[in-house]
Structure 1
Amino acid sequence: MNPINSKVYFTQVVVTLLCFSTGSLGGILPDYIHVCPSLTSECLKKTIQETIPEFVKGIPELGIVPIDPITHDYIAIELPGGLKLELFNGRITGIRKCIVDNVKYENKQADIDIHCHLLIKGRYKAHGNILIVQINGDGDAKLKATNVTISAKLKFEDQERNGTVYHEIKDISVKHKFVDRVVFDLTNLFKGSPEISDAVLHFLNDNWKVVAEEFGDPIVNTIVNYVVDNIKRFFRGIPKDQIIVNNK
């Protein structure tokens, strides 16, 4: 066999073995995640809090993508009041600084409460009505949500693949709430009229709570979907015996 071909063949064999090993034995728990043997709320809260800043950077070998920042080329939102909103080149930051308030794990179910300060930037186009205000805008958008609480319930089930048991997520439900003021900064809310644009912007900020529930909910839901997808990939990729070492 030609020496060059021999090297290529050897490389292919090694890559194949590595892929087979990863698929059959599962991934390796990142060294920044410290397992809680007793699964107490205190330990889980501390571990999750320490894990977040690293986890949001992504784990490529498990298909886990970076989520701080989250970048999204295009989001289309149609609100009940008749407002059509389009966001372009969106950038969402703040997830790595989320604070874990409470964690509980019992009988294959986890309850997690966190709060986050989020910043959303991008370009927008909007046409229609929100509350009693007409919008016909095209400009820069910035939303600052200083305290968004997120509560998640996760139900797990054990799944065996190729002789390895995984503690996968069977079901997950997430609720969020805007607790503190959401600040809107949108330019050119009414094309061709800076005065009307300023008046509309003041109105939106004066009524931030109602506006956030209509305007901000779809954006927060987009963030939640990214996070949930990453969490599911993590538990699908890491064997149970690496995550739960003792559950007495």
Structure 2
Amino acid sequence: MEAVLKVSCLVLLAIVHVQSGVLPVDKCSLSDKGCLVPAVQKMLPIFLAKMQEYGGGDDLKLTPINFDLGGLKYSLTGATWNGLKGSVIDSVNWDAGKKALTIDFHTDVNVKGAYTADGTIMEKPITGDGELNLKLKNLQVKLTINFETVNKGGKDHLKPTKYSYEFDVKDNAHYDMTNLYNGDKAQSDDMLNFLNGNWKAISTAFSPPLLDNALNIIHNHVISFFDEHSVGDISKE
């Protein structure tokens, strides 16, 4: 109970700071990479607390996903993406000339939701309608956000315009899917062994729709964050 109370107080404190426009982090020169990494790491729980106000936070509620990729028709609904809170910021690069902010980070991710699947994966037939539990171990992401600078109330603000990313699942991806092949256990076990035995190739090919969904939600919150906070709020002028 005491631990829960401490966490709740920290989240409340972060929200108060954000709402007041005062960020409890050290300001950095935007060219000082050594300062930016710990500053962004410290700002992460504040950003997540703000996201939580709008139904975000560490458990992102993904919008419905539908794709037809490599012979597989797939849908995922009611899904959550968990793992942002444990993100470790590896590097931060601010390129004023290209008007781009690049953040490299890694984290473990857990995705849960209701799936439907019909088609083939790497030429292996698959069909099912049940629950997905996907764990990505050491997901590394390089996120680049392009921006423009706009004046708002006499202060410069960053206005993100688009984003791009690269990713790599470094250590492991583990798939658990219920009701494959209408509950046929032998076929289900065979497919799950296949998925988990070929996790690298499968996660590389089929993770982009999940990442697109999650990063689009994060990008929208980044837009709101920079709209509320001027460049002077987050950096040395």
Match of 1:144 among 135, 142, 160: 135
Q: Which amino acid aligns with 1:103?
A: V
* Count of equivalent residues: 217
- Partner of residue 76, structure 1: 66
Task: Render the CA deviation track for 1:84-137: whole Å, top value 9, x for unaligned.
Answer: 112122111111110111112242432221111100112211111111211111
Q: How does the TM-score come out when normalised to structure 1?
A: 0.79
Match of 2:221 among 217, 230, 237: 230
- Partner of residue 86, structure 2: 97
- Partner of residue 201, structure 1: 192
Task: Render the CA deviation track for 1:168-191: whole Å, top value 9, x for unaligned.
Answer: 224432211222210111112211
Is 1:51 the counterpart of 2:43? The answer is: yes
2-structure distance, mates of 1:33, 1:230: 19
Whether contact under 8 Å (1:28, 1:238) holds in the other structure is: no
- Partner of residue 75, structure 2: 86
- The Cα RMSD (Å) is 2.2
* Unaligned segments of structure 2, at least 5 residues: 1-18
Question: Looking at CA atoms only, which structure, 1 or 2, has the larger radius of gyration?
Answer: 1
Whether contact under 8 Å (2:156, 2:230) holds in the other structure is: yes
Same amino acid, percent of matched pairs: 27
Once the 2 structures are TM-superposed, how far is the Cα of residue 205 of structure 1 from its aligned partner?
0.7
- Partner of residue 173, structure 1: 164
- Partner of residue 66, structure 1: 56
- Partner of residue 3, structure 1: none
CA distance 1:154–1:216, shift in 2 (3 Å): closer
* Unaligned segments of structure 1, at least 5 residues: 1-26
Q: How does the TM-score come out when normalised to structure 2?
A: 0.82
Q: Secondary structure at the match of 1:35?
A: coil
Once the 2 structures are TM-superposed, how far is the Cα of residue 53 of structure 1 from its aligned partner?
2.1
Q: Secondary structure at the match of 1:178?
A: strand
